[in-house]
Structures are given as C-alpha cells and as structure tokens.
Amino acid sequence: MDKKQENKKVFLEIVNQLRQLIKHEGIKPGEKLPSERVLSERLNVGRSSVREALRSLELLGLIETRHGGGTFLSSVSSNQLVELLASFILQENKAIEDVHIVRRMHEKEAIRVICSEQSLRSLPVWESLFMKLELENEIVRDLLLREIMIASGNRLALKIWLQLVAYSATPLKKLSTEEEKPMLQRLVKSLQLGYENEATSAYENWMHYLKNSSS
Amino acid sequence: MDKKQENKKVFLEIVNQLRQLIKHEGIKPGEKLPSERVLSERLNVGRSSVREALRSLELLGLIETRHGGGTFLSSVSSNQLVELLASFILQENKAIEDVHIVRRMHEKEAIRVICSEQSLRSLPVWESLFMKLELENEIVRDLLLREIMIASGNRLALKIWLQLVAYSATPLKKLSTEEEKPMLQRLVKSLQLGYENEATSAYENWMHYLKNSSS
DNA sequence: TAATGGAAAGTGGTCAGACCACTTTTAAGC
DNA sequence: GCTTAAAAGTGGTCTGACCACTTTCCATTA
C-alpha cells in the first residue's frame, strides 16, 4: 500500500513549482512572470495546466493578468504572499488558536452591534436571562453567547459562529459557576443599557476567567 | 469607445454562472455537480474554461474533485468551515449585505490586532504602502486590505476573508481615487503608530466613503 | 437466486494545436 | 527624429484527442 498522503493534486504541484520559480528567479512584486507558453515548456506541462494554476492564483489576488500584456506578480511585499501560498498548499489548518480568536471576534462584534441598536438592546431575552441568573444561579454558558449571536441579526456570522463552536474543544453544555455570576450580570446589564465599553470589558473579563480556570 | 469597466474576467463570469446553477439546481453540500463536459455545454463555453473556474473554486476549498468520480460541493472535508461558507455564499442570494458586514468585521478586527502588536505594526509593508500612496497617488484598494488581513496573522480569518472577497460584487482591480488618499494615508499611518481608535476611525471613514460613492 | 467478475460508460487529468483579441515591439516610411 | 503601420508576443478560448480512474451494468458462475 502506498501512502495516501502523496495523492497531491497535480495542479497544486504546479502552483508549488510556480512558487519556487518566483522565489528562485527573484521575481519581485509588480514584475512580469514568464509567459504561459514559456512556463509550460519550463515546467514540462501543458499550457492549459499552467493556466489552471494561474487562474487559481489570480482568484487569490496573488497575480494580475493583462490581456496581451503578460502576467504580473501582485505589487507589494511578496514575501508575505509567497508564504501565504505555502500555507494554502500545505493545508496548515492546525491552528486551533485561530478558531478561538475568530470566534471571540464574532462574539465581541455581536455585542457591539447589539449595544449600538436600541431595538436589539431592548429585546425581552436579556431581561429573561438576567432573571435567570438571579434566580437559578446558573446558566448554560453557550446559551447566553448564542442568544447574543442570534440577536445581532447576521445570519452569516451566526452560521460561522455555530461552526466555530462545534470546533471548539469546550463542551456545549458547560454550566457557569458562581464565580462567573457577577461577570455575566454585568455583561447582560450593560448590554441592555448600551454601554459598549462596559459590555466589551465584561465579556473580556469573562473570557479571561474561562481561560484561566480551564487550565 | 466602450467602457473599460466591462472588462469582466470571463472565468470569473463562469464562477458566477456556476453559483447560479448550483442554486437553481438546488445542489447541496456533498452532492455532485454536473460533469465538466455537461457544464461546458450548458454554459456554452469550452471545457478548459470550465476547468479554470473549477480549479479556482477548488483552491478555495469550495469544491472537491475525485478523479474519475466527479466534482462535488465540499462537505465533510478538512475544513468544515470552508464548506459552510461555500454553501452559504454559493446558495444564498439576498445575504450579500451579511457578507459585507462580516467582511468589514474581519477587516476591523485585523486592524485592531495589528495595532496592538509591535511586531506587526513595524512590518516594512506599511512603509512601502505609504510611499506608494505618496508617489503614485493611487493604489489597488483590495491590495491594502489584503495586506492587512495577511499581516494580522490569522490564517482562518484570512481564508474566510478571501472567500468573502471572492464573492463580493466589487471588482478586484478597482483603484482608489484622489479623494481616498488622505483616508488611506491616515489609516496606514495610525496603523504603524498603533493608534487603534484612529486607525479604526480612518477605516470606517473610508468604508463610508466607498459606500456613498458607489451608489 | 445471489455473488462475482469484467466489460462498457462516465468522468476528471492532461496535452497539443488552432484561432482570436489585445499589447508591446520593431521597423518602415516620412 | 518622429510618426505610424506591420510584426511579434501574450493572454483568452475552443476543440479534439488520449489517458487514468471510478461507477455502472450485465452476463457468467457458484
């Protein structure tokens, strides 16, 4: 049995070779790449294969093509762009930390949105959540966050967030502790009042607490 | 003389048509797309053009191809989030506003991240961009934003952002105007200095200008 | 009848060649 | 030397062909 991992897409291999060529040839941003015909000859592949690779790079914005003029490396700092390419090719998705960061970004933004809109601030759900905190002394953590995401009203952001949550290591039904209570109350209250800074601060406190308590 | 603005990349047009076809046909994630030969016939384009479009979508992770098997809308693959975005962006029509909002959110957050990290603020790319603004008086809009997203260092966010951009209605090569210059300079400068509020404000000004000037 | 095996059809992967449209370069003509 | 038209270069697209792989289908067999 051969290694399945070597099943690299061939057109990705071409993309990779293009990357090396750019590096080796020292082609700077804004400069011209060899023509498609030359590339196909140098890489020993058909012109159409070269084009498939180039179109991919174009959709990513890494190159620009001018009809009749040629193909050019996008201007500005190529080092970053080249490295970016590598991360795409090598499928470096292992950054779990990135998932957390993006998730928190969405949550924070949702809080901002809610604070800045009277109609969202006055949703009955906040009062309900606040009461629940008072009476039951505990609350499902993700329930609050989910309500926040839903209330912010962006379906795409909500979908992304749900996916991110699914990826997060944190169990869905984790209950909040007694210690979290004041933070949560502060968050919900300032949310209702539209105190953006206060709400954001409360949120960050909460996240900081969760981070430390889990380790 | 015709308007130069109509210089739509044809392979991008095919990408769009594919989107419509997927929506109209009701193709769900994980399901099979029509074969390349069928697509080329239905869209009245050559098979090679279809392939160029498909390869672009593949590099973005929106579709999967199996040699001899067919082409499929991404489903349970390496990155489910990519699949989610694929289905959302490819299928939902009226959600363009949501796409914009999420995109702007990612950009704003990236700006915040850069401002708060010395090593990111001092990247040479900012000086380069600033010089370019000074000398050439114009700059490709998305180039600046792309650099910001790359510099922020979150690959997941970058991947999300790239997909959002790929399906935004805004042309990739739109140049900034003379009026935008001060806003862009302010953004880049405050980015370098780490003035988060100033940078965010400049960004929002810029976006506000773009929104009004396009309508 | 159910299982098996292999042929046939379907599909993506790649290549070569041919045009076209547009840009850049070259060279002719003034 | 300058202008301008022809030529060369380059990306854009289509067609047809062949290969490699997968799926489907059906006849043969146990």
Exposure string (b/e) for B81-90, b if CB count within 10 Å is 16 or more?
bbbbbbbbbb
Q: Is A72 touching B (CB cutoff 8 A)?
A: no
User: What's the confidence (pLDDT) of residue A4?
Assistant: 31
CB contact A94 to B (< 8 Å): no
Distance CA B45, CA A41 (A): 26
What span, in angstroms and rounded, lies between the C-alpha atoms of A26 and A57? Answer: 18
A15 CB near a chain B CB, below 8 Å? yes
Q: Among A61, A76, A105, whose Cβ lies nearest the Cβ of B128?
A: A76
Q: Are B95 and A11 within 8 A, CB to CB?
A: no
Q: Locate A106 and state its tokens.
A: 């969405």
**B133 pLDDT tier (thresholds 50, 70, 90):** confident
Residue B98 has pLDDT above 60, yes or no: yes
Q: Which residue of A has its CA nearest to B153?
A: A98
Contact at CB, B59 and A166, closer than 8 angstroms: no
CA nearest to A183, candidates A208, A165, A150:
A208
- The CA distance from A77 to B120, in Å, is 14
Question: pLDDT, tens digit, for every residue of B26-64?
Answer: 887 788 999 999 999 999 999 999 999 998 888 777 788
Q: Smallest Cα–Cα separation from A76: which of B130, B192, B171, B172? A: B130
Characterise B196 by phi-psi region: left (phi > 0), alpha (psi -120 to 50), beta (else). alpha
Structure confidence at residue B42 (pLDDT): 92
**CB contact set of A157 (below 8 Å; sequence gap of 6+):** A106, A109, A110, A149, B98, B101, B102, B105
State pLDDT tens for residues B18-36: 878 887 888 877 889 999 9
Q: Is A195 on the interface with B (CB under 8 A)?
A: no
Burial class (CB in 10 A: 0-12, 13-18, 19+), A111: buried
Instruction: Determine how β-strand A70-73 pairs with β-strand A63-66.
Output: antiparallel
Q: Chains A and B: how many Cβ contacts under 8 Å?
A: 124
pLDDT for A201 beyond 80: yes
Residues with Cβ within 8 Å of B61's Cβ and at least 6 positions away in sequence, in order, are: B74, B77, B78, B79, B82, B83, B86, B159
Residues A31 and B173: their CA atoms lie apart, in Å, by 17
Q: Where are the alpha helices (DSSP H) in B60-177?
A: 80-91, 96-115, 118-121, 124-136, 141-152, 155-166
Strand C contact with B40 (CB < 7 A): no
| Best B48, B71, B81, B87 residue to mutate vs chain A (most A CBs within 10 Å) | B81
pTM for this entry: 0.64
Task: Judge contact between B74 and B63, C-beta under 8 A.
Answer: yes
Please name the member of A56, A75, A80 whose beta carbon is closest to the beta carbon of B55: A56
In angstroms, the CA of A29 and the C1' of C26 are apart by: 28
Dump pLDDT digits (tens) for A130-173: 888 777 766 667 788 888 999 988 888 888 888 777 766 555 45
Judged by average pLDDT, the poorest of A79-88, A102-111, A195-204, B89-98 is A79-88
Average pLDDT (A47-68) is 88
Encoded tokens for A90: 């090598």
Interface contact A164-B11, CB threshold 8 A: no
